[in-house]
Amino acid sequence: MDTKKEHIFIVRCGEVALKGMNKPYFERMLVERIKKLLKKFDGISVKRQEGLIFVRADGALNKQEIIHEISKVFGVASISPAVECESTMESIGEAAVKYMLEAIEERGIKTFKVEAKRADKNFPVKSPEIGRQIGAVVLKGCKVLKVDVHHPDCLLFVDVRHDKSYIYQDKIAGFGGLPLGTNGKGLSLLSGGIDSPVATWMMAKRGMMIEAIHFHSFPYTSQRAQEKVEDLASIVATYCGRFKMHVINLLPIQEQIVANCPEEETTILVRRFMMRIAQEIAKNTGCGMLITGENLGQVASQTAEALVVTDQSVSLPVMRPLIAMDKVDIMDKAQEIGTYETSIQPYEDCCTVFLPKHPVTKPKLDRILASESKLDCEKLIADAVASEEIVDIFPQ
């Protein structure tokens, strides 16, 4: 790679920096995730150095595309496109003047401020003096500029390190969180709604590897409805990588519930079966917990009483990252991660099939168990698991 024509990006860790003795492990995992996401590009190197991650890319590559890809990696707090120079005051000054002249030409800036950080404590000039001296050099080399310490058009950062120093102005925010693969594996109950893709994304952001399970009620639900869910899964996969989605036809179970159990209990009974089936799939695939998009009080099956009865059906822990969020905040997050427009497409969902007119909102466990005693639960669950289809989900 021609270093004179390369792009340099400084990548900063989020919570990874707080991991104490485990910090090197989390940093290595973060480097591997960045490498994996950038492997579509030729001429990329990713290295960990002095608490930062440096990404170097061939100058012919599109800088904004690379920034966009890095920003999707969980664990990344911010990214700065930077200029590298030798760690001498003369070299830093020359690089700063050149950088600011380009900023003047591209953005028409008129004011600036220099903020310096001396990571190398053996460097003979202290941080405040570096800022003053480099500011003076920039003023001399860029006659149109003035210093504004309160509201500058450009805040110029100077990061002085042992061998090289770096000059940059932007700190582009990433999503933060933890690198994928550092926090186990979970099975997400993925529907075509707004909530479950966001819940899946949020658990992946905490470092959890993902598999998914989707329930349909064909022919009451259409093939296009399943394709919608696959589209949603592909959007989520752009952040957490390729994963498997287990597809289950829930209709035989729904028909048995409708034929044998009180109508008002249909929703909660169906939900308990979904959780049990998901648990079997989770155990078969090494997933240590279930993930749902449930939100307290949003619908009849998500009241506090209903959630308690639902949880009683499984032994695996159930993660509900959206449990206390307002719906508008969930919708905002869906728009941010790119799932919202797909989620609102008007295709039916298995949860709307056989929907009771007056679903029970405060179910009693003893009554629910009495209703389930009328069904051959073990056979229904075993048949559902045996009939699963597996769809490989790839990033969009």
Binding residues for ATP: 189-190, 214-215, 271, 293, 302
Strand order in the sheet with 243-249: 318-319, 289-291, 185-189, 209-216, 243-249, 389-393
Q: At 313, phi and psi to the nearest 5?
A: -80, -15
Yes or no: say if 149 and 175 are a contact pair by the CB < 8 Å rule. Answer: no
Q: What is the identity of the amino acid at 138?
A: V
SS3 content of the chain, % helix, strand, coil (to 5): 45, 20, 35
Residue 212: DSSP 8-state: E
Phi, psi of 37 (to 5 degrees): -75, -25
> Residues annotated in the binding site, as ranges?
189-190, 214-215, 271, 293, 302
Q: Assess whether the previous peptide bond of 219 is cis (omega < 30° from 0).
A: yes
Tokens describing residue 388: 């699963």
If you search the block for the tokens 């989770």, which residue do you land on? 282
Instruction: Identify the CA nearest to 212 among candidates 133, 285, 113.
Output: 285
Strand bridging mode 44-49 / 52-58: antiparallel
Concatenating the DSSP letter of every residue in 171-226 gives -EE---S--TTSS-EEEEE--SSSHHHHHHHHHHHTT-EEEEEEEE-TTTS-HHHH
Quote the CA–CA distance of 322 and 191 in Å, as a whole number: 15
Number of Cβ within a 10 Å radius of residue 277 = 25
